[in-house]
Structures are given as C-alpha cells and as structure tokens.
C-alpha cells in the first residue's frame, strides 16, 4: 500500500452500515437514523428532464469538463436568487460529481506535502482524511457548545498561521447544526487575506431549516481568498445523483479544473439537464420540504428527551445534535446497546472529532412513522434493561 493511506481509515459509515445491515431481519429490520440520505424524491420535473434527455440519441456522449453552459447559468441564477451574489458562470462556477469529490480536488490543487490545513472539531471527517491523503499537517480548531459552536476567531488570531494553506469551514455546520454569525464570517475572510490562505466554505445544508441562507461570497473581499462548495444532495433530495459545484475566483476554479479534468470525463447530459430543472424549483417547493423536516425534527426531539439527552432546539440542517447523559460511561457502548437491543442505529459523535465524544447525531431522513417506531422500541428496551450500563453488543447478542 502507498504510504499516503497509512493514516487514513475506511469511512466510518462504509464499515458500520455493513454491520447494521447484518442485523436486519424480516421481522425486525433496523431503523437507520444515522446517515443523512434524503428519503424523499426530487421534484417531478427533475425526473422528467432526466428521462426526456436520456431518450435523445445524441445525449450519451462525453460532455464538457466544465459542464454544459445551461448548468453554469442555472447555478449562477440560483446563487443570485438565494444569496444575492451572481458568480460569472463561465469563470467562477465548476460543476462537480457531488461536492465530496470537490474536497479532494481542492486539496490536490492547493496543498503541498507538509502544508498546514485547519479543520473543525467536531467536523466532517473527509476534511481531515483528504488533507492526510495529500500529505498535509492537519490541525484542528475547536468548536464548543459553550459559545454556540461558533468559531473562536480570537483564538485563531493568536496562532501562527504562516504555514496554513486551507481552512475548512461549514455553515450550517454538520454535525452541530449551528449557523455561523456573519460577523465571524467577515473576520475569517479578513484573517485569510492577512495570512494568505484559502478559506473553503462547505455549504450543502443552507436551505434546510435555515432562516437566513448565507454564502461566503456575501462578504466583501471573499473572492480573493475563498471557495465555496454546494450540492443538490441534501437540499434537493438528490444524494445518489452526485451533482455538486464549486464557486470561486477564476484562478482558483481553473486550478481545481486542472485536477478534475484528469480525474473524470464529464457528467451525463441527462443529469445536467435535470440539475438545471432542480435549481429552478420555486420557493414553495423548499417550504414544503422544510415543513416536513420541522415535523420530523420535533419527533427527533421527543426521542432525545426519552434518552435524557441535552440539545438545542435552534439547529439548522438535516440532523439533530445532542449531548448524552453524564451517567453514560461509554457513548460507543451505549449506542451499540441501542442498536443491538432495540435495532435502532444512531450516529455516535466521536466520529466527528474529540469534541464530539459525548454527543450523538440523529438524521431527519426517516419518516415520522419510523421515528415514532424508534421511540417506541427504545422506550420498551429502556423499560426492560436500559439502565444496565454494562450492556454491550456482545452481551445482548
């Protein structure tokens, strides 16, 4: 094996979901409240656009590396409508096969071996793993419940940032559901400009249970030092379609294109035409989606109350983040006891970093009925033996 993968583990869900599937049975299937894979379909006209394009004989060849002009224009118009910023579709927009690939492409385009990369703790694990794959020195910055999971810019300003190449930020934040204050965003742009590093905002949750969607490019001067990733996976119910994009200054986008154009041969035309349609969905479509997620979030709160967890009711995004009771000695064993005893899977917070050790995350990508069933199963399990903290998956088996 190459040395670059020695410090990189297989993605947690890649392994854990195999274990979860192994517990499934016809009589008692596992209720998966772990992964954020939207269970609702995209808008009907999105599927119609895919079908119509796929029927055309000339739709199946290679496509431009920067995507069809209509997709770039649709992304630009979407940004203007949602964020009040209109990026040049020819120079500042790069469609991606999901924003996750963009994390790797950005890392390859800008990070040299030994460069320092700042990642949030807790935060999306791929920021760190992609940085490790390119030989970067990964340094964390702490997010803390005591200040609403906001970035401590005062602390960052005291650090030596001379070797930092990229700082990853994510708002609305996953897993905590916090929304970055505009004042903090302004200070981070100023910090990046003063220290000559790239600020990358990962922004796939901006339209979900979030009153004020915000782009990094609403901040003056951001174009010089920032990139932003976005996606149709969460906000448009299209995770398996793998459609995302990158927005940024022309030179930064071109640098990423130099990597991407050597990694794939363009996106299927039908998917691009469907993406154009998705980006044109009216506000009413998103209002309906958020109404559904508000109902599910309320049910998730009931489940967390049953588990005696502490949580904020002001969370944006597709998940609910909560602190487990102090009486629980091991969160991992506690989660496994729920999985093996009640057949309900909940994500442990430790996979997002050391600051997530005492937390759990529940996905809102399950119907109300499933969330209620999870509540009922755990309630019954708790009544039987939940107080026995020594329970593990081995003893339950």
Domain ranges of the chain: 3-41+284-396, 44-281
pLDDT at 390: 46
Beta bridge partners of 118: 139, 167
What SS3 class is residue 118? strand
Beta strands in the chain (DSSP E): 31-32, 93-96, 116-121, 137-142, 164-170, 198-202, 226-231, 244-248, 310-311, 319-323, 344-345, 347-348, 359-363
Low-confidence stretches of the chain (pLDDT beneath 50):
386, 389-397
Q: Say if CB 340 and CB 16 are below 8 A apart.
A: no
pLDDT at 11: 72
pLDDT at 26: 85
pLDDT at 343: 94
Tell me the CATH number for domain 3-41+284-396.
3.90.1150.10
pLDDT digits 0-9 by tens, 73-97: 999 999 999 999 999 999 999 999 9
pLDDT at 396: 41
How many CB atoms sit inside 10 A of residue 162's CB?
Answer: 9
Distance CA(150)–CA(141), nearest Å, equals 11
Residue 296, classified by CB atoms within 10 Å of its CB into exposed (0-12), middle (13-18) or buried (19+), is buried
Q: Say if CB 320 and CB 371 are below 8 A apart.
A: no
What global pTM score does this model have?
Answer: 0.93
Distance CA(230)–CA(16), nearest Å, equals 26
pLDDT at 158: 97
Q: What are phi and psi of 332, to 5 degrees?
A: -60, -45
Q: Is domain 44-281 annotated with CATH 3.40.640.10?
A: yes
The token duo for 214 is 């915000």
């Amino acid at each position: 094996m190459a040395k670059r993968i020695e410090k990189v583990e297989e993605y947690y869900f890649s392994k854990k979901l195999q274990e979860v599937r192994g517990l499934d049975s016809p009589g008692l299937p596992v209720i998966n409240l772990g992964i954020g894979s939207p269970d609702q379909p995209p808008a009907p006209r999105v599927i119609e656009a895919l079908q119509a394009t796929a029927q055309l004989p000339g739709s199946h060849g290679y496509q431009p590396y920067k995507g069809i002009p209509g997709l770039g224009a649709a992304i630009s118009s979407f940004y203007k409508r949602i964020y009040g910023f209109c990026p040049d579709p020819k120079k500042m927009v790069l469609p991606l096969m999901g924003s996750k690939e963009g994390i790797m492409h950005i890392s390859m385009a800008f990070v040299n071996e030994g460069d320092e990369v700042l990642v949030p703790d807790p935060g999306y694990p791929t920021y760190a793993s992609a940085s490790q794959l390119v030989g970067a020195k990964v340094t964390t910055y702490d997010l803390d419940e005591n200040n609403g999971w906001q970035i401590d810019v005062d602390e960052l300003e005291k650090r030596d940032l001379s070797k930092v190449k990229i700082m990853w930020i994510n708002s609305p934040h996953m897993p905590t559901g916090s929304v970055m204050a505009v004042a903090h965003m302004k200070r981070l742009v100023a910090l990046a400009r003063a220290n000559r590093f790239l600020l990358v905002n990962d922004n796939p949750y901006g339209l979900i249970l979030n009153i004020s969607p915000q782009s990094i490019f609403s901040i003056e001067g951001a174009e010089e030092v920032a990139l932003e990733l976005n996606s149709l996976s969460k906000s448009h119910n299209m995770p398996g379609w793998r459609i995302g994009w990158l927005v940024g200054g022309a030179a930064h986008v071109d640098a990423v294109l130099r990597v991407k154009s050597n990694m794939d041969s363009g996106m299927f035309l039908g998917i691009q035409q469907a993406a154009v349609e998705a980006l044109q969905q009216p506000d009413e479509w998103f209002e309906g989606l958020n109404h559904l997620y508000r109902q599910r979030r309320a049910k998730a709160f009931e489940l967390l109350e049953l588990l005696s967890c502490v949580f904020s009711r002001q969370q944006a995004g597709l998940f609910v983040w909560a602190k487990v009771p102090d009486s629980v000695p091991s969160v991992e064993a506690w989660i496994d006891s729920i999985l093996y005893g009640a057949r309900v899977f909940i994500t442990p917070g430790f996979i997002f970093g050391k600051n997530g050790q005492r937390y759990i995350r529940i996905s809102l990508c399950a119907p109300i009925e499933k969330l209620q069933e999870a509540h009922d199963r755990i309630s019954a399990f708790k009544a039987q033996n939940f107080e026995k903290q020594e329970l593990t998956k081995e003893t339950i088996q």
